[in-house]
């Protein structure tokens, strides 16, 4: 197996990406292809004392898709960019895994265009691993699709189920649907319809709705939502974490006594920081595309890059994509049954509503 790493993508590239690749050599046994400007990458390898390392290869890609570039335009115009060439390595079979901390939109769009979707998957989705009061859980979709249909959410659920089971080690992952209430029919049209479909899928352990206040309680191993809601939840969580850190900083800097308190609590605070640190989880897989594709946070450091490579290799070795394809056909059959049941239920509800209106009219 070979891992293609976008060495030019990210806020701290190429220094941190190259450093991360070097660290990853201790975590995986495979070769890593650094995709980027050869001259720059050779200088970085030399700086870190890794020039000539037999498991670090270079694929020359002289162009870079910047964070503020328009994804579609950049992919078409910058055909020798590190993102595009890295994905093409996977498509050709020269690599089996692609990891990037670069322009998220370009990675998502490029993966869909170049790699294509798995059989039976209509829309790939981003699966982000987040901490909770208990064990880490998966949020899917975290931003790949801003307009989803109910059947898309069912696909997200089965992909999240496979990921949680084989990567997070959950024997029978609990699948929850992010909504505004626990009751079955709480939510908008999308969540109500998705709820009925998810109930009809026997392949998953669907536990019902998960409210926003339960997000970090550890109630579910997989929380399913459309990408618009998922990305908002993710960004708000990041903002809240930063805000709380800022407030704590102000508190501990307030006086000599609070500074002393910080010294006493430093180890516990470090443990807390490590528990919520995204770097420990590496990156977020774009599930549903052919080949393994990991999208890292733009501000990823070497540790995050190394962990992302480790997760990507684990996904490939545990045949996550093959497992998704093997399960999705039966899921679509269940979706058909669920749609039929939901149609019948809506028909009965309409009849009941008409009956009530007629009775009310008769009384008047």
DSSP 8-state secondary structure symbol assigned to residue 126:
E
Domain residue limits at 246: 123-282+319-364
Residue 322 banded pLDDT, cuts 50, 70, 90: very high
- Based on the domain organization, do 309 and 323 belong to the same domain? no
**Cα 20 from Cα 363, distance rounded (Å):** 76
Q: Determine the Cα–Cα distance for residues 109 and 35; give it in Å rounded to an integer.
A: 18
pLDDT at 364: 47
**pLDDT tier, 338 (very low <50, low <70, confident <90, very high otherwise):** low
Give the CATH number for residue 176. 3.40.718.10
Closest CA to 194 of 204, 205, 179: 179
215 and 276 both lie in a single domain: yes
Q: Are residues 128 and 105 in the same domain?
A: no
In DSSP terms, which residues pair with 57 in a beta bridge?
33
* Residue-wise pLDDT tens digits, 248-282: 788 888 888 788 887 887 777 777 666 666 566 77
- Asked whether residue 276 falls in the same domain as residue 164, the answer is yes
Say whether both 144 and 102 belong to one domain.
no
Looking at the structure, tell me whether residues 64 and 149 fall in a common domain: no
pLDDT digits (tens, 9 = 90+) for 54-95: 999 999 999 999 999 999 999 999 999 999 999 999 999 999
Instruction: Give the Å distances, CA to CA, from 288 to 2, 5, 182.
Output: 20, 20, 29
- The count of domains in the chain is 2
What pLDDT does residue 276 have? 64
Q: In this structure, are strands 97-100 and 125-130 parallel, antiparallel, or unpaired?
A: unpaired
Greater confidence (201 vs 96) lies with: 96
Mean pLDDT in the chain?
Answer: 89
Helix (H, G, I), strand (E, B) or coil at 128: strand
Q: Same domain, yes or no, for 173 and 193?
A: yes
Same domain, 230 and 352: yes
pTM score, two decimals? 0.86
Check whether residue 141 and residue 242 sit in a common domain.
Answer: yes
Predicted confidence (pLDDT) at residue 96 exceeds the cutoff of 90: yes
* Shared-domain flag, residues 176 and 48: no
Q: Among 156-170, 276-290, 340-354, where is mean pLDDT lowest?
A: 340-354
How remote is the C-alpha of 79 from its chain's centroid?
26
pLDDT of 11-65, one tens digit each? 999 999 999 999 999 999 999 999 999 999 999 999 999 999 999 999 999 999 9
341 and 253 together in one domain: yes
Whether residues 50 and 194 share a domain: the answer is no
Spatial separation of the C-alpha atoms in residues 300 and 24, rounded to whole Å? 14
């Amino acid at each position: 197996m070979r891992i293609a790493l976008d060495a030019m993508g990210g806020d701290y590239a190429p220094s941190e990406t190259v450093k991360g690749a070097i660290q990853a050599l201790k975590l995986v046994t495979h070769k890593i292809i650094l995709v980027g400007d050869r001259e720059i990458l050779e200088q970085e390898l030399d700086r870190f004392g890794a020039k000539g390392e037999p498991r670090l290869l270079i694929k020359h890609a002289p162009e870079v898709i910047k964070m503020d570039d328009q994804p579609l335009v950049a992919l078409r115009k910058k055909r020798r960019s590190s993102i595009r060439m890295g994905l093409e390595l996977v498509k050709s079979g020269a690599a089996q895994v692609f990891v990037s901390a670069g322009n998220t939109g370009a990675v998502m769009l490029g993966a869909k265009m170049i790699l294509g979707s798995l059989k039976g998957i209509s829309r790939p989705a981003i699966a982000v691993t987040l901490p909770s009061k208990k064990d880490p859980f998966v949020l899917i979709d975290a931003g790949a699709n801003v307009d989803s249909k109910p059947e898309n959410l069912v696909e997200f659920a089965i992909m999240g189920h496979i990921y949680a089971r084989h990567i997070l080690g959950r024997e029978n992952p609990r699948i929850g649907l992010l909504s505004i209430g626990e009751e079955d029919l709480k939510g908008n049209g999308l969540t109500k319809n998705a709820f009925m479909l998810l109930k009809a899928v026997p392949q998953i352990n669907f536990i019902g709705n998960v409210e926003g206040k339960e997000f970090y309680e550890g109630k579910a191993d997989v929380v399913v939502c459309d990408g618009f809601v998922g990305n908002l939840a993710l960004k708000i969580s990041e903002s809240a974490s930063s805000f709380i850190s800022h407030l704590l900083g102000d508190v501990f800097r307030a006086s000599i006594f609070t500074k002393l308190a910080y010294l006493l609590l430093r180890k516990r605070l470090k443990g807390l920081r490590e528990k919520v640190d995204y770097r420990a989880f590496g990156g977020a897989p774009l599930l549903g595309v052919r080949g393994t594709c990991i999208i890292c946070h733009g501000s990823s450091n070497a540790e995050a890059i190394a962990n992302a490579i480790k997760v990507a290799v684990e996904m490939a070795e545990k045949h996550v994509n093959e497992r998704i394809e093997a399960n999705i056909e039966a899921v679509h059959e269940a979706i058909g049954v669920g749609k039929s049941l939901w149609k019948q239920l809506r028909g009965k509800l309409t009849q009941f509503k008409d009956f009530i209106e007629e009775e009310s009219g008769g009384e008047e």
